């Protein structure tokens, strides 16, 4: 049994042993082993040219990773918190994402982005900023929800020839434990996973919310066989095939994400379903998301802010009865 964060660390070790062009850069990742210890032990094995402690300069080290990747290296950037990606927003959304389109030069950078709330981190350590990037052509975006996927999607991101943002959920780091295979596997980018099969309602979710959805179903014993849960795994490009096949089977959709509501992925998913499966729908498309506020710090506030199993259970019950 290993944890989610250990799966990340294993993927880093294995990939760096496989390919000498891979290097890590970020804040406090070398001697200190990373704010969350995802890179512990890597400096000792790979040395300071492959595990690079950077100044607090997100735009600087993101730009550096882009340039190195243009030379065929495969940099892995660790943002200490996904919140801080905003400091490198320009480099990611204007430079990294357009370079192949403009110049035909691949930018195979992996951006590791510890994301999400649930630990009283407050407004600047708890955000889910994925939609700023989902909106940007040229990027790929993944968000593993399981230990198996944490390893397999990270390997896929590293081996991809495009800039990939890997949203690893901080709340899952040490709470999730699984047995995973010893062999070298990848989880392909662009493929969702049906985590639970059911006939009457499709839940579309990703990241830590997958586990909230399962917990919600425990509160509704008679929902067995009724609810299908799809873990998107990749947010860009979306696996429309899996999403639409499920919706056409069940006829109802609930979308659950930790990100805020306005401009959240739920809006795009709802539009896809309304566009392409309208005649299969037997009810409204519902969303359970965070409210349109900053992420608050105090426990009662953050508890209110984060979608929880009760919110999801209520929405499931309502939609099943619709």
Q: List the catalytic residues.
A: 125
Q: CB under 8 A: which stretch of 78-86, 94-102, 250-258, 314-322 binds other proteins?
A: 94-102
* Shortest spacing between CB 275 and other proteins, in angstroms: 19
Contacting other proteins within 70-89 (CB under 8 A) = 70-73, 75
Under rule CB under 8 A, residue 52 binds other proteins: yes
How many chain residues touch other proteins (CB under 8 A)? Answer: 45
For residue 190, state whether it binds other proteins (rule: CB under 8 A): no
HEC string for 265-276 = HHHHHHHHHHHH
Q: How far is the CB of 282 from other proteins (least distance, A)?
A: 35
Identify which of residues 152 and 296 has a Cβ nearer to other proteins in the complex: 152
Of how many residues is the chain composed? 322
| Smallest separation (angstroms) from other proteins to the CB of 65 | 6
Does residue number 33 form part of the binding site for other proteins (CB under 8 A)?
Answer: no
If the CB atoms of residues 123 and 237 are measured against other proteins, the closer one turns out to be 237
Residue 54 or 216 having the CB closest to other proteins: 54
Which stretches of 137-217 are assigned E, i.e. beta strand?
140-142, 164-169, 177-178, 193-196, 201-205
CB of 114 to other proteins, least distance (A): 21
Position 184 contacts other proteins (CB under 8 A): no
- Taking CB under 8 A as the criterion, the residue among 90, 184, 224, 318 binding other proteins is 90
Chain position carrying tokens 């929800």: 145
Q: Which stretch binds other proteins (CB under 8 A): 37-45, 93-101, 191-199, 273-281?
A: 93-101
Q: Does the protein bind other proteins through residue 152 (CB under 8 A)?
A: no
Residue 104 interacts with other proteins (CB under 8 A)? Answer: yes
Q: 173: which 2 tokens? A: 């780091």
Residue 186 binds other proteins (CB under 8 A): no
Query: Using the rule CB under 8 A, is 155 a contact of other proteins?
Result: no
**Nearer Cβ to other proteins (58/231):** 58
Q: Which residue, chain included where needed, has tokens 């795009």? A: 268
Q: Cβ–Cβ contacts within 10 Å for residue 286, how many?
A: 19
Between residues 133 and 173, which has the closer beta carbon with respect to other proteins? Answer: 133
Cis upstream peptide for 300 (omega within 30°)? no
Other CB atoms within 10 A of residue 201 CB? 25
Residue 160 vs residues 46, 135, 184, 195: alpha-carbon distances, Å: 22, 19, 16, 25
CA distance 107 to 61: 14
181 Cβ partners below 8 Å, 6+ apart?
none
Which residues are near other proteins by CB under 8 A? 23, 49-50, 52, 54-55, 57, 59-73, 75, 90-91, 94-95, 98-108, 137-138, 140, 159-162
């Amino acid at each position: 049994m290993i944890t989610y964060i250990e799966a990340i660390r294993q993927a880093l070790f294995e990939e760096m042993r496989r390919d000498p062009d891979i290097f890590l850069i970020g804040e406090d990742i070398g001697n200190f082993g990373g704010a969350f210890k995802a890179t512990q032990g890597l400096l000792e094995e790979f040395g300071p040219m492959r595990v690079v402690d950077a100044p607090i300069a997100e735009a600087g080290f993101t730009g550096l990773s882009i340039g190195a990747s243009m030379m065929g290296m495969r940099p892995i950037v660790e943002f200490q918190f996904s919140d801080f990606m905003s400091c490198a927003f320009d480099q990611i959304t204007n430079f990294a994402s357009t370079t192949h389109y403009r110049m035909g030069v691949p930018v195979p950078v992996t951006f590791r982005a510890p994301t999400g709330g649930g630990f009283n981190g407050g407004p600047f350590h708890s955000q889910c900023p994925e939609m700023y990037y989902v909106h940007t052509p040229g990027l790929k975006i993944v968000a593993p929800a399981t230990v198996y996927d944490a390893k397999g999607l990270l390997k896929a991101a590293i081996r991809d020839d495009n800039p990939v943002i890997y949203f690893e959920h901080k709340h899952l780091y040490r709470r999730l434990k699984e047995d995973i295979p010893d062999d070298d596997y990848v989880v392909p980018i662009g493929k969702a996973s049906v985590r639970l099969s059911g006939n009457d309602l499709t839940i579309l979710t990703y990241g830590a919310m997958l586990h909230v959805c399962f917990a919600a179903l425990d509160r509704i014993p008679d929902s067995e066989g009724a609810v299908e849960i799809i873990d998107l795994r990749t947010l860009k490009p979306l696996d429309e095939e899996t999403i639409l096949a499920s919706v056409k089977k069940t006829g109802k959709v609930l979308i659950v994400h930790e990100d805020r509501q306005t401009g959240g992925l739920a809006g795009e998913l709802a539009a896809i379903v309304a566009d392409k499966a309208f005649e299969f729908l037997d009810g409204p498309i519902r969303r359970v998301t965070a409210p349109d506020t900053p992420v608050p710090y105090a426990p009662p506030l953050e508890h209110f802010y984060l979608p929880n199993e009760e919110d999801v259970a209520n929405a499931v019950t309502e939609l099943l009865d619709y």
